[in-house]
């Protein structure tokens, strides 16, 4: 009798488990329902720019570190910190009569030794920095290489001083650098600095690939695709019914896209949304909206 009761209890437990699983499946099937709705967007004319954006740190194009090539004693120093020097300027003379000269034009940013000091081989005596001719090194992904060429113009935004200036791509590396398993190329953007722009500042570099002015645009979410990859949008007819209209697209900035054929300014297109309606046993219905 005890064994029979235990067997009945096991069977009952299995039946209860099946019922619970059935309820869970039913909940997911019938209570998490998906329906499609849409929002309206009126087609308008505006400018659109397809660009690539990078970030980098401002550096000098030219920098000379004056290093002692032999053990030497400084007999005299001819320049001072903050002084602007041309190329071939006498910087200092050693006790043996050797005169060391500048190899670039720039500002003497730092002098590390004084007259009569002895400098060991490899010691840095002074540094000259060109603060007028600056550059930014950019990390360029492989799929962005086709958008960047030497002599391409660039816009440089320096948020810390609220400045925008023009630059030009001067160089693109021919070999990739691998950093933590990610390969990238290096592009240099040159520009002219001034007293407000300091080395080490962060900057955003914008390189325009394509741009159009006063063209028809819609959000990219409005674009739908047929089975053979042709593009169309859903529109609302005068009678209020929804219809599909084939369109031809142009450039995109990732948010909106140019329409070259198929629509007129003022047309209403419908942007599809997916509405997830969720009903729980312990609370009221919750709705989550997501653009397709």
The pTM of the whole model exceeds 0.85: no
Residue 223 near residue 231, CB atoms below 8 Å: yes
Q: Taking 90 as the threshold, does the pLDDT of residue 146 lie above it? A: no
| Residue 125, domain member (yes or no) | yes
Q: What confidence category does residue 285 fall into, taking pLDDT thresholds of 50, 70 and 90? A: very low
Residue 219 near residue 42, CB atoms below 8 Å: no
> What is the predicted pLDDT for the residue at 32?
44
Return d(Cα 102, Cα 90) in angstroms, integer: 7
Six-digit token string for 185:
């190329």
Beta strands at 256-261 and 153-158: parallel, antiparallel or unpaired: unpaired
Cβ atoms within 10 A of the Cβ of 257, count?
A: 22
Higher pLDDT, 131 or 279: 131
Range of the domain at 200: 52-59+134-208
Q: What confidence category does residue 36 fall into, taking pLDDT thresholds of 50, 70 and 90? A: low
What strands lie across the sheet with 99-101, from one edge to the other?
99-101, 90-94, 72-77, 118-119
> What is the predicted pLDDT for the residue at 115?
96
| Residue 3, domain member (yes or no) | no
| Residue 7, domain member (yes or no) | no
Q: pLDDT for 84-95, tens place per residue?
A: 999 999 999 999
Beta strands at 256-261 and 44-60: parallel, antiparallel or unpaired: unpaired
Q: Which of 208, 228, 246 is the last residue of a domain?
A: 208
| Residue 288, domain member (yes or no) | no
| Residue 245, domain member (yes or no) | yes
Return d(Cα 1, Cα 3) in angstroms, integer: 5
> What is the predicted pLDDT for the residue at 83?
97
Q: Which of 52-61, 214-223, 239-248 has the lowest average pLDDT?
A: 239-248
Average pLDDT, the chain: 84
Higher pLDDT, 7 or 47: 47
Q: Which of 70, 105, 129 is the last residue of a domain?
A: 129
Q: Taking 70 as the threshold, does the pLDDT of residue 6 lie above it? A: no
Return d(Cα 217, Cα 254) in angstroms, integer: 12
Cβ atoms within 10 A of the Cβ of 138, count?
A: 23
Rounded to an integer, the average pLDDT of 21-25 is 47
Q: Taking 70 as the threshold, does the pLDDT of residue 223 lie above it? A: yes
Residues 245 and 200 in one domain: no
Residue 43 near residue 269, CB atoms below 8 Å: yes
Residues 117 and 162 in one domain: no
* CATH number, domain containing residue 196: 2.40.30.170
Q: What confidence category does residue 254 fall into, taking pLDDT thresholds of 50, 70 and 90? A: confident
Q: Taking 80 as the threshold, does the pLDDT of residue 1 lie above it? A: no
Q: Taking 90 as the threshold, does the pLDDT of residue 196 lie above it? A: yes
Higher pLDDT, 41 or 127: 127
Q: What confidence category does residue 179 fall into, taking pLDDT thresholds of 50, 70 and 90? A: confident
Length of the chain: 292
| Residue 284, domain member (yes or no) | no
Q: Taking 70 as the threshold, does the pLDDT of residue 31 lie above it? A: no
- Torsion sign over Cα 185, 191, 196, 198: positive
Q: What is the dihedral of CA 39, 41, 47, 52, to 10 degrees?
A: 10
Q: Which residue has the tokens 């329906």?
A: 35
Q: Taking 70 as the threshold, does the pLDDT of residue 17 lie above it? A: no
* CATH number, domain containing residue 239: 2.40.420.20
Q: Tell me how many domains the chain contains.
A: 3
Cβ atoms within 10 A of the Cβ of 196, count?
A: 11
Percent with pLDDT over 70 in the chain: 81
Rounded to an integer, the average pLDDT of 105-125 is 96
Q: Taking 50 as the threshold, does the pLDDT of residue 15 lie above it? A: no
Q: What confidence category does residue 11 fall into, taking pLDDT thresholds of 50, 70 and 90? A: very low
């Amino acid at each position: 009798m005890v064994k029979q009761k235990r067997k009945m209890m096991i069977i009952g437990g299995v039946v209860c488990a099946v019922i619970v699983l059935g309820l869970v499946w039913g909940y997911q099937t019938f209570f998490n329902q998906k329906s499609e709705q849409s929002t309206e967007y009126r087609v308008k004319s505006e400018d659109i720019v397809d660009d690539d954006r990078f970030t980098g740190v401002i550096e000098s194009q030219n920098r000379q570190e004056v290093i002692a090539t032999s053990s030497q004693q400084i007999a005299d120093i001819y320049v001072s910190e903050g002084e602007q020097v041309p190329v071939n300027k006498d910087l200092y003379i050693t006790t043996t009569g050797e005169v060391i000269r500048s190899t670039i034009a720039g500002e003497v940013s730092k002098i590390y030794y004084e007259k009569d000091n002895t400098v060991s081989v490899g010691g840095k005596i002074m540094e000259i920095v060109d603060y007028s001719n600056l550059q930014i090194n950019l990390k360029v992904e492989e799929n962005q290489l086709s958008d960047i060429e030497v002599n391409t113009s660039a816009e440089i935004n320096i948020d810390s001083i609220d400045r925008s200036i023009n630059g030009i791509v001067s160089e693109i590396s021919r070999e990739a650098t691998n950093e933590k398993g990610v390969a990238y190329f290096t592009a240099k953007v040159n520009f002219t600095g001034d007293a407000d722009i300091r080395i080490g500042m962060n900057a955003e570099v914008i390189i325009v690939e394509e741009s159009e002015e006063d063209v028809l645009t819609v959000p990219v979410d409005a674009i739908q695709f047929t089975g053979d990859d042709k593009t169309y949008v859903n529109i609302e007819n005068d009678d209020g019914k929804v219809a599909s209209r084939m369109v031809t697209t142009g450039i995109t900035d990732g948010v909106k896209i140019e329409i070259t054929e198929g629509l007129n300014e003022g047309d209403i297109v419908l942007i599809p949304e997916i509405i997830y309606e969720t009903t729980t046993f312990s609370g009221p219905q919750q709705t989550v909206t997501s653009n397709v």
